[in-house]
Amino acid sequence: MTNEEIRQAVIDILSDISPEEDLENLDDNTPFRDQLSLDSMDVMDIILELRKRYRVNIPEEDYGKLDTMTNTVAYLEPSLKEM
Amino acid sequence: MAQYISKYDIIVIGSGLAGMTAANTLAKSGHKVLLLEKHHKLGGLATWFRRQGGYVFDVSLHGFPVGMIKSCRRYWNAPIADRIVPLPRIVFDNPQFTLTTSFNREDFTRLLTQKFHLAEETVVEFFDTARAMSHTGDASMTTQQLFDRFFPGREDVIRLLMEPITYANGSTLEDPALTYGIVFSNFMSKGVYTFEGGTDLLIRLMQEELERNGVDIKVSADVTGISVENGEVRGVQTGKDLIRAKAVVSNTNLKGTIFHLVGREHFTPRFIETAEAVRLNNSSTQVYMGLKPGESINEDVCGDLLFCSAAPAFRTEMLLSRQITSRTFSFYYPKTRPGTENYAVVSSTNANYSDWADLPEAEYKASKEALIEDTLNALEKYVPGIRGKIGWLEAATPCTFQDYTSHWNGASFGTKYEGLAVSRELPEQIQGLFHTGSVGIIMSGWLGAVNYGFIVANNVDAFMLDQKGKN
Ligand SMILES: Cc1cc2nc3c(=O)[nH]c(=O)nc-3n(C[C@H](O)[C@H](O)[C@H](O)COP(=O)(O)OP(=O)(O)OC[C@H]3O[C@@H](n4cnc5c(N)ncnc54)[C@H](O)[C@@H]3O)c2cc1C
C-alpha cells in the first residue's frame, strides 16, 4: 500500500465508526481528538478494525502514537507497505 | 485423563453483559466462540423475572449513561441501540432538599447555582475537573478530597452529587476521585437512559445477534475449572466435559476466576498477594412491587427514579447498614414495556453481605419482612394507599444475589478500583486467560460491563493474531 492508500484506509475506518463526522476537512497534523468527537473507546475500535482488515497488531503501549493522521500513517507504513 | 470433547478458538465463561459483548465482538472478528452460562438464561445481573398474574420485574434496569447508545450500536446492532431512551425525571427527597432534575450538566449547573447558591465558576471548574479524569490518571485523591476542594462544608451539595453515584456503582467518598469523575461525567453528559421493552427484550435481541454471528451458546453449563498447563490455558471443565480452547475469557467474579477456577498455584506469589487484597464492592437488597391491574402511579410525583432518604446527611456506612433509610425507587410505567399496562416499583438499597449471610434462619426471615415493611412505609408518602394497590410483593437480599451470580459476597458492582489492574494483568500471568466483567468501579454497571467486554475482546483478538504468527 502507498501512504495515500494507508491514509484512505484509516479514513474508511473513521467514517464507519463515526459516520456523522466531517472527514473531508481533516487536518493531518492536528490530533484526531481535537477535531473529531472520538473517545477512548473509539480509538480501541480503530485498532480492532486495523487488525481485522489489515492484520496489523498494535500493542497497547503504542496506542498513543496514533494521535494524528500523519503519525498514524507513519506508524502503519512499515507493516502495510508490502500489502 | 479427561478427554477434550471439542475445540474452540475462544471460550467465554458467563453471559453477563461483558461476557456477551466479548463473545459477540470476537465472533464478528471471525473466531470460533463458545459461550457457557450456568443459568438457563443469558444476561447475568442484567436480568428479569416473571410472576403469576402477568407481573414482570427488572433487576438492574434502573438507568445507565447515554454512552450505552453508541456502545450498543457498535458492539451490538442498531435495533438494540435505537431502543435506548431517556428517563427524564429524577427526583430527590431528603431532609436537606427536595428537587426534580433531568440529571445532566445543564440542569445540575442551574440547581447548583440557583438552589444551592454556588458561584458559577466553581461549578464550571468542578464539572471540567471531573470530566478531565481518566483511568490512567492519579488515583491518590479521594472523592471526599475532590468535594472538599470545591464545596468545603457543603454536605447538601455532596449528597446531591454523590448519592446517585453510590447507588449506581457502590462507590464511596473514600474511593479514588477518578472513579467518581468518570462515572459522574458519563451521566452528566446527557442524563439517565433506559432500555424500552425491558431487560427481557434486550437479552433476546442480544442472543439473536450472538447466534447470527455464529457464537455457540450453552446454557445450564456450570464451569468448574479452567485448565492450565505450563502457564498456558488449555480449556475449561464443565460437568464431565473438558472443552479445549486457545483462549478463555472469564466473566465470572475476578476472585472466583483466580482462586476457584484456576487455582492459586498457577500464579506468582506476588500476583496472589495483590489479588487477595482486592476488595469486593457491596451487595444490594431489593423489594419488588407489582401493581394490581387498573392501579397506577402518579408520574409527576414519583418521576422515573426517586432517591429518597430520612437520614439527616449522607454517610457511606449508613447507606450499607440494615437500618438504612436511604433507598432508590425505580418506577416502571407502561412506557417501559409499550403495549402493556404494567406499573411496577423496585426499591434498591446497597447492603453488606455479612449483615445478611450470618443471620440465623428465623432472623433472616424477620429481617426480610422488616425490609419489606420499611420499604412500604417509605413508599406510602409518594404512592398513597400503596398497600392496597400491590398485587405482587417480594424481596431479594445479598444472599439472593450471591446465589444467582456466584459473585463472592453477592457483590453487585464487582470490585473496588484495585481490581482493574489485577484483571488486566491476568493474561501476563497465564497465557490465553482473560477476565472481563464489572471491576474497578469504572468498568461496572451496564455501560462499564459492555465497554470492558469490548476492550478485553480487543486484547484477545490481538493475542489470537500473535499466536497465528507463531505457528
Ligand atoms: C440490584 C442491582 C441493581 C443494578 N442496577 C444497575 C443499573 O441500574 N444500571 C447499571 O448500569 N448497572 C446496574 N447494576 C450493575 C450491573 O447490573 C452489573 O454491573 C452488570 O450487569 C454486570 O455485568 P457483568 O458482565 O460483570 O457480569 P454478571 O452480570 O455478573 O454476569 C456474570 C455471569 O457469569 C455467570 N457465571 C458465573 N460463574 C459461572 C460459571 N462458573 N460457569 C458458567 N457461568 C458462570 C453468571 O451466571 C452470570 O450470568 C445493578 C446491579 C445490581 C445487583
Q: B214 with B125, same domain?
A: no
pLDDT tens profile A35-68:
887 777 888 889 999 998 999 989 888 888 998 9
Check: pTM over 0.90? Answer yes or no: yes
Per-residue pLDDT at B3 exceeds 60: no
Ligand 1 proximal residues by C-beta, below 6 Å? B 13-19, 36-39, 44-46, 59-60, 62-64, 222-223, 251-252, 284, 286, 348, 401, 405-407, 412-413, 437-438, 444-447, 449
Mean pLDDT of B439-468: 94
Please state, in angstroms and rounded to a whole number, the distance separating the CA atoms of residues B282 and B175. Answer: 13
Please state, in angstroms and rounded to a whole number, the distance separating the CA atoms of residues B76 and B195. Answer: 14
pLDDT tens profile B320-367:
676 777 899 999 999 999 999 999 999 999 888 988 998 999 999 999
Tally of structural domains, chain A: 1
B318 in any annotated domain? yes
Mean pLDDT of B275-284: 93
Name the residue range of residue A54's domain: 3-80
Q: Which residues of B touch A44 (CB under 8 A)?
A: 454-455, 458
Which among B158, B188, B218 is the end of a domain? B188
The residue whose grid cell reads 498477594 is B273
- As a whole-number percent, the residues of chain B with pLDDT over 90 amount to 84
**Contact B459/A at CB under 8 A:** yes
Q: Which residues of A touch B29 (CB under 8 A)?
A: 48, 51-52
- As a whole-number percent, the residues of chain B with pLDDT over 70 amount to 97
B143 in any annotated domain? yes
* Helices (H), ranges, B406-444: 419-429
Q: B286 with B398, same domain?
A: yes
Q: Which residues of B touch A52 (CB under 8 A)?
A: 29-30, 461
Q: B264 with B297, same domain?
A: no
What's the pLDDT score for residue B298?
Answer: 95
Q: Which residues of B touch A47 (CB under 8 A)?
A: 458
Which among B150, B165, B188 is the end of a domain? B188
pLDDT tens profile B226-271:
999 999 999 999 988 899 999 999 999 999 999 999 999 999 999 9
Name the residue range of residue B249's domain: 7-47+200-279+412-470
B415 CA → ligand 1 middle, Å: 12
Helix (H) or strand (E) run with residue B257 in it: none
Query: Coil, strand or helix: which one is B371?
Result: helix
B91 in any annotated domain? no
C-alpha cell at A26: 481533516
Which among B353, B387, B405 is the end of a domain? B405
A34 CA → ligand 1 middle, Å: 35
What's the pLDDT score for residue B143?
Answer: 96
Query: Coil, strand or helix: which one is B372?
Result: helix
The ipTM, to two decimals, is 0.81
Residue of B68, B72, B461 to mutate for A, most A C-beta atoms under 10 A: B461
Specify the CATH number for the domain of residue B436: 3.50.50.60
What's the pLDDT score for residue B5?
Answer: 63
| Residue B313's pLDDT band (cuts 50, 70, 90) | confident
| CA nearest to A59 within chain B | B462
Mean pLDDT of B199-221: 97
| Residue B170's pLDDT band (cuts 50, 70, 90) | confident
With 0-12 / 13-18 / 19 or more C-beta atoms within 10 angstroms meaning exposed / middle / buried, residue B413 is buried
Specify the CATH number for the domain of residue B378: 3.30.519
B243 in any annotated domain? yes
Helix (H) or strand (E) run with residue A8 in it: helix A3-17
Q: B349 with B286, same domain?
A: yes
| Residue B471's pLDDT band (cuts 50, 70, 90) | low
Per-residue CA distances from B343 to B192, B279, B285 (Å):
20, 37, 20
Nearest CA to ligand 1 atom 49: B44
Alpha-carbon Rg for chain A in angstroms: 12
Per-residue pLDDT at B129 exceeds 80: yes
B96 in any annotated domain? no
Average pLDDT, chain B: 94
Tally of structural domains, chain B: 3
| Residue B4's pLDDT band (cuts 50, 70, 90) | low
CB distance B433 to B422 below 8 Å? no
Q: What is the DSSP string of B318-345?
A: HHHSTT---EEEEEE-TTTSTT----EE
What's the pLDDT score for residue B1?
Answer: 43
Please state, in angstroms and rounded to a whole number, the distance separating the CA atoms of residues B48 and B200. Answer: 6
| CA nearest to A43 within chain B | B455
Q: Which residues contact B283 (CB under 8 A, 6 or more apart)?
A: B350, B351, B352, B353, B356, B398, B401, B402, B409, B410, B411, B412
Pocket test residue of B60, B304, B407 for ligand 1, highest count of atoms within 8 A of CB: B60
| Residue B2's pLDDT band (cuts 50, 70, 90) | very low
B428 in any annotated domain? yes
pLDDT tens profile B134-163:
877 888 999 999 999 999 999 999 999 999
B193 in any annotated domain? no
Nearest to A47 among B67, B451, B458 (CB): B458
